[in-house]
């Protein structure tokens, strides 16, 4: 079974603009002027996967995830 490379996704209802994702993934996740994350389109490069997983685990409201859908 083919495994799709994961991309970052956020549940916009759950997200409360804590901003940890932007701190843990500088240059990858940026914040808009209201503090909500702007995620890159496309798969997370292999070199950044570990950092992306840390950001997912650090999200205080579990809004960030690595999605393969």
Partner 1 sequence: MTCAEPLNDTGRLLSGAAPGLAAHRARYGPAPVLGGPGELVALVTAAGLRGRGGSGFPTARKIAAVAAASRRPVVVVNACESEPASAKDATLLRHAPRLVLDGALVAARALGADTVVLCVHRGTPLVGWLRAEVAARTGDGVAWQVAEVPRRYVASEASALTRFLTTGEARPAAKPPRPERRGVRRRPTLVDNAETLAHLALIARYGPGWYRSVGTAGDPGTTLVTVGGAVARPGVYEIALGTPVGAVLARAGGPTAELSATLVGGYAGTWVTDPGTPLTHDPAGRYGATVGAGVLVALPAAACGIAETARILGYLADESAGQCGPCAFGLPAVADDLARLAAGRPDPDLHDRLVRRVGVIAGRGACAHPTGAVRLAGSVRHAFAADVRAHLSGRPCRPHPPVLPLPAPHERDRTWQ
Give the residues lining the site for partner 1 (CB under 8 A).
11-15, 17, 32-36, 38, 69
Nearer to partner 1, 42 or 69 (CB): 69
Nearer to partner 1, 16 or 57 (CB): 16
3-state secondary structure 23-38: HHCCCCCEECCCCCEE
In 3D space, the residue among 37, 34, 39 whose CA is nearest the CA of residue 19 turns out to be: 37
CB of 59 to partner 1, least distance (A): 14
Place of tokens 């292999």: 46
Nearer to partner 1, 10 or 55 (CB): 10
Q: Which residues fall within 8 angstroms of residue 35, CB to CB, at 6 or more apart?
A: 17, 19
CB of 47 to partner 1, least distance (A): 26
């Amino acid at each position: 079974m083919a495994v799709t490379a994961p991309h970052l996704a956020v549940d916009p209802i759950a997200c409360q603009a804590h901003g940890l994702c932007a701190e843990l993934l500088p240059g990858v996740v940026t914040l808009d002027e209201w503090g909500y994350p702007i995620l890159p389109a496309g798969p997370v490069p292999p070199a950044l996967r570990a950092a992306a997983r840390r950001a997912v685990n650090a999200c205080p409201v579990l809004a960030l995830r690595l999605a393969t859908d």
